[in-house]
Amino acid sequence: MSKFDRQRIEKLVSSGEINSSQHDQLVYFLSKLVGLYEQQKEKDDSINKFATICNEYLNKKRIIYDEANVDISIIQTRNSSPIEIRNLSSGEKQIISLFSKIYLESSEEFILLFDEPELSLSIEWQKLLLPDILKSGKCRLLLAVTHSPFIFDNELDLNANDLDIFVREE
């Protein structure tokens, strides 16, 4: 929309002239435009949350989201050169894959069952992973089975149980 058109619409709104029946089509068009904007904003917010959380894990790399062109890319921070996903480490791929499911899928809530979530993750990432999943607000139930003492070396340690307490010897 041109600057002139925007100013004209603002003038119609501020003067109240927009309520005239001669502007019904414009009002209809603008209401549809606002609806589309709100839908896109929700998607943009999800993509921005996804990029933010992944960037906490990436070292010397960043996920960049260009809202104007609806483009997501991964770059090296030192020279801004693009990186293809296939060139990331297995841990980086795992983080991006997991958080893309959490933040970019349309489902509002999910149940996550994890068998050895620590595979391919550094000790620091292991400590961050489960709390970050829960902070998404989309995880209704999280069950993780692990051999790593670091997965629950965080605020979730009070919720962790050793499965030996459930084993009966006969």
**Tens digits of pLDDT across the chain (170 residues):** 788 888 888 998 899 988 989 988 988 888 888 888 888 888 899 999 999 999 999 999 999 999 888 899 999 999 999 999 999 999 999 999 999 999 999 888 899 998 999 999 999 999 999 999 999 999 999 989 998 989 989 998 888 877 777 777 87
Distance CA 74, CA 53 (A): 14
pTM: predicted TM-score of the whole model, two decimal places:
0.76
Domain borders along the chain are: 107-170
pLDDT of 167 reads: 78
Rounded to an integer, what distance in angstroms lies between the CA atom of residue 90 and that of residue 53? 17
- Label the pairing between strands 139-145 and 71-76: unpaired
The DSSP letter of residue 61 is: E
Dist. CA 134–CA 138, nearest whole Å = 7
Instruction: Decide if 102 contacts 132 (C-beta within 8 A).
Output: no
Question: Strand 61-66 and strand 71-76: pairing?
Answer: antiparallel
The confidence score (pLDDT) of residue 164 equals 76
What's the pLDDT at 123? Answer: 94
Separation between Cα atoms, residue 97 and residue 47, nearest integer Å: 13
Estimate to the nearest angstrom the gap between the alpha carbon of 134 and the chain centroid.
13
**Helix count (H) and strand count (E) of the chain?**
4, 5
For residues 67 and 40, what is the distance between their CA atoms, to the nearest angstrom? 10
Phi, psi of 145 (to 5 degrees): -110, 125
Task: Please give the Cα distance from 35 to 95 (Å, whole number).
Answer: 33
Residues near 153 by beta carbon (within 8 Å), at least 6 away in sequence:
126, 127
Amino acid occupying residue 147 = H
Work out the angle at residue 129's Cα, subtended by the Cα atoms of residues 128 and 134, and round it to the nearest 5 degrees.
105
